[in-house]
Structure 1
Amino acid sequence: MHTPISPAILYWGTPVVLITTTNPDGTPNIAPISSAWWLAHRCVVGLGGSSQSTENLLRTGNCVINLPTDDMAPAVNRLARTTGTDPVPVWKASTGHVYVKDKFAHAGLTPQASEVVATPRIKECAVQMEAELAGAHEMMEEMGGLKGAIMAVELRIVRTHVEEALLLEGHANRIDAAKMRPLIMCFQEFYAMGPKVADKSRLAEVQEENYRVLTGSTVVEGEVVEVKKGELL
């Protein structure tokens, strides 16, 4: 039997992301976020409109999306309720957030130089995606004074790094999903990904390379051809 409720949040469960950005003085910032999703080589993240990460991202046009494994919950916890904004904003102060300048040292994590963007990666994360800003949308436009309080930010992934142990045997560019151990957040609690629930997925019958058309081109009979919107999904 269903019953109507009014939850304060709708965090049904997504992988935790550690987003690294660059502060105005050139130092790195890390923020744990739980609102991120992917399509092809694009990532959309949900951020507070006035957060330090958002300000850094909009100013520099780049960041790194790092995916922690389920054994990294203690490090993520050390970052929780910290902010790179000084002084601490009123709402964050009311929820116990404190200003931390060196997030890497505070969390016990290691910066690792990126190859395309200026912002560093997090060495301990099994997946690291260097990204460039593609667009930003101020949410809650219909709510007047709250417009832009949260933002949906579109990122273009320009370089992906993964631990070699995650690669599917015999493939240079495919991930073995059975080896993935993402840290999941569901209603503010940490979870690990469970076992596969079906022997076979019909969607998995489509070769992953078919989706490369969403980068704007594909190979047809040995020739690289441009793909137009009407020929896609």
Structure 2
Amino acid sequence: MDALRYLISIQGTDNRQEISALLDYQQKSLKHFNYIEEFVGNSDLLGARESAKWAQGFAEDCYSVLEAMPGHWELLRSEFERLGLNPATCEPISTAFANMQRMVVAYLPREKRKALYQQLKGESLPVFGFEKKAKNYMSMNKVMSFVFGVSFIIVMLLIALLKPEPSEFQYKVFRAVLALACGGIGAVIPGILEVKVSKAIKAGGAIAIFVIVYFWNPAKMIG
């Protein structure tokens, strides 16, 4: 905001100073937009979107940021042209701000996102996030982990029936494999789990389930 105020305050003065102020404003505003864009991606990785209220509120924030973009780029384009710079050099890439747009698509009413889409497209700004859904690679990884876990547990059950009294070495191998299998299944179970074995070993999520099964005997503890 300070960069914008300064840019406006020196309009009509020294050309070189105006160009410097314009480029500074462009850089700072782009840094601001990119920070929010990156934060959207990180919020998904950290599981923040599991809170409906948080996701709804953040989507509304993304809407406000996107809504301000037409005015921002109108200013940049006009100033670039006025100062003899190539306006094309200030244009965002075709996939810019897709994360924010997908947040709007996911959590806001259809009429609001449609109006915003038309506004951005009318100003020749990127709408990639409105038109292309994100591929959920994480879900596929979880499915594979679950399939791996279930498959190995079935194998372990068959081995237990065929060899009810394994040797000490076999028992350790079976226990390690069972811990890995349980960790794979645990990857698809929602919730937060954290265990601490010692000062050196601390784990959370699916790894925590592996640690519990490997270092302890849950069935024996319950019994």
TM-score band, normalised by shorter chain: under 0.3
Normalising by structure 2, what TM-score?
0.24
TM-score, normalisation: structure 1: 0.24
Tell which has more relative contact order, 1 or 2 (C-alpha 8 A, sep 6+).
1
Give 1 or 2: higher strand fraction: 1
